[in-house]
Structures are given as C-alpha cells and as structure tokens.
Structure 1
Amino acid sequence: MSTLIRRTPSPISTDDPFTGLVRRMFNEPIFTPAMMSGTWVPAVEVSETNEAMLLTAELPGIEEKAIKISIDNNVLTIAGEKEEERSDAPPAKNYYLTERFCGAFQRSFALPRTVDTERVEAEFEKGILKITLPKLPQAKGKVIEVQAK
C-alpha cells in the first residue's frame, strides 16, 4: 500500500534568517524514502468528480505493454517496468549525475466501496496513464426537491 507523508514546514526564524534556513534544511527531507532506497515510484494524482474517481500516473519512457493494472479485493494495483537504456558495451561516456530511475515498480491503492470495479477504464498517452473509476449509482447521491403544501 502507498503511504502519505505529511510534512509541516518549520518557520524560518525572523531573528536570524540563516539559522532558520539551516534548521529547515536539516529538519525537512529533500528526498522521499523511495528515492533514497533507489527504487522508482511513479508520481500519481487522485481526484474526484460527481461521476467518478480519477487516478493519473506519470510513466515516462514506459511502453503500454509494460503496464499491468489489476483490481483484487477493492485494491487497485498498477505495476510495470521501465527498461534501462544503457547497454553492456563499454561506456562511450562517463556519467557524473543520473537521476533517471529504471526497473520494476508497483503501486497499490485501496478503493472505496463506492467504486464500480466492473466499469473501470484506463488509457495511456504520451507517458500519462489515466484510470477512470466510475462510482456506483447509489454513491452519486440524490437531490430531493422540497414540496410546499
């Protein structure tokens, strides 16, 4: 399961801006735990409309056939693999910095009971995966008009 990390920025001291900046620099993580472990975790965005929940994931450099989406016990899982572009031949260039990740990934999300798992749709274009999770009819709510007597 994915976890959310809540960060509360510490205020910069008004008495000594440099001390406050240094305190913030050491108290707030720059990298996520996934980045520090060397694993790649695609960024996602989850939003909601009256009709559906929408999950959008950034999967740059991944082929459509390398993405697997499944739902089991109301848990949506996105898995795939980003191939490494380097070859086994002797390097023609030296790398001084690389922030591009490759390898297998997997993200799982617990779905609310209001999602109609039989009608889920996914589309992939230009490295962006969009999953539409329609709501069950009873989850959309109902407006009741008040009658005057």
Structure 2
Amino acid sequence: MTLAKLSNNWFPSFPSLVDRFFDGELMDWNSSNYSSTNSTLPAVNVKENENEFLIDVAAPGLKKEDFSVNYDNGRLTISSEKKNEKEEKDGEKVTRREFSYQSFQRSFTVAQNIVDAEKIEAHYDNGILHISLPKRDEVKPKPTKQIEIK
C-alpha cells in the first residue's frame, strides 16, 4: 500500500491544512521554540499582599549571574542575556561550530511612592527568579481601630 497526498484541484494555490501539517510547517513547533529567534519571554506571576508585591519569573536553565534586575522611578526591569558557543575541532580543522544567544527583558510599572526601593530583594532557585518589592509603611493597610464608646 502506498500513501499519497491528495491535491485540492479546485483551489491549487491554497494548500490544505493536512498538506501544511505533513510538510513540517505545523509539526516543527519544538525546534522553533515558538518564535523565529529561538527565544521566548519567560512566564511571570505577579502577586500582591498587604506587605509586598511578589514577582516570580520562570527561567530554567539560567544562572543567577545571567540576570539583571533594576528598579528606577517605579519601574522594575528584569533582563537576561546568555551566550553559548560550542566548537568541536578535528586537529586544526573546524568540523562543527554552534552559537546560541538568548535574551529577554520584561518591565513592570508600579505606582510611584508605593515600593520601598531600599528593601527590594531577589533570589534565583530551581529555575525561578523570585523578586520581592516591599511596600512602604505609609501605604500598608492600617489595622482597624476599635473605638471605645463612652
């Protein structure tokens, strides 16, 4: 038995979804990493509680030295740059050389005068960059004051 592609004679200039799938256009998702630049923006979770903003950036495969975290005038910027160069030699002749360059930048704006910039902390653990932006004492919710009735 031989498998053969069926062509759509009515609209020859429009390839069918099946044709594009088997041609590799739709099957090659993993090798392109969902973009033509072989990089993606990492997923980010942002949480807020009464004391701080918490930001988790999923960036496995990186080291803490690969990150740069800056806070300026209510704007938090997280960036990373990683370069890899692998070369295999056979004597003096280069047989294969591979380059890899990955970078990203994410920025978040927080309303002015909310974050205590001196207390911002970041740490990288198990592929996740954790950033804590503590709120200034003046903007934290105050506990309810019980007023005595006389």
TM over 0.5: yes
TM-score class, shorter-chain normalisation, is 0.5 to 0.7
Structure 1 unaligned regions, length at least 5: 1-34, 92-100
Return the structure number with greater relative CO, CA threshold 8 A, min gap 6.
1
TM-score for both structures, normalised by structure 2: 0.62
Deviations 1:83-136 (A, max 9, x none): 45x735456xxxxxxxxx951111000023311111100011111110010011
- Aligned Cα RMSD in Å? 2.3
Partner of 1:62, secondary structure, is coil
- Structure 1 segments, 4+ long, off by >6 Å, are none
- In structure 2, the residue matched to 1:146 is 147
- In structure 2, the residue matched to 1:110 is 109
Aligned residues between the structures? 106
CA distance in 1, matches of 2:71, 2:107: 9
Q: Is the 8 A contact 1:50 1:140 kept in 2?
A: yes
CA distance in 1, matches of 2:133, 2:101: 28
Once the two structures are superposed, the pairs formed by residues 1-149 of structure 1 within 5 Å of their partners are 35-36=34-35, 38=37, 39-84=39-84, 87-89=86-88, 103-113=102-112, 114-142=114-142, 143-149=144-150
TM-score for both structures, normalised by structure 1: 0.62
Identity %: 34
CA distance in 2, matches of 1:145, 1:37: 60
How far did 1:36 drift? Answer: 4.2
CA distance in 2, matches of 1:83, 1:42: 17
Q: Specify the structure having the higher radius of gyration (Cα).
A: 2
Structure 2 unaligned regions, length at least 5: 1-33, 89-94
How far did 1:144 drift? Answer: 2.0
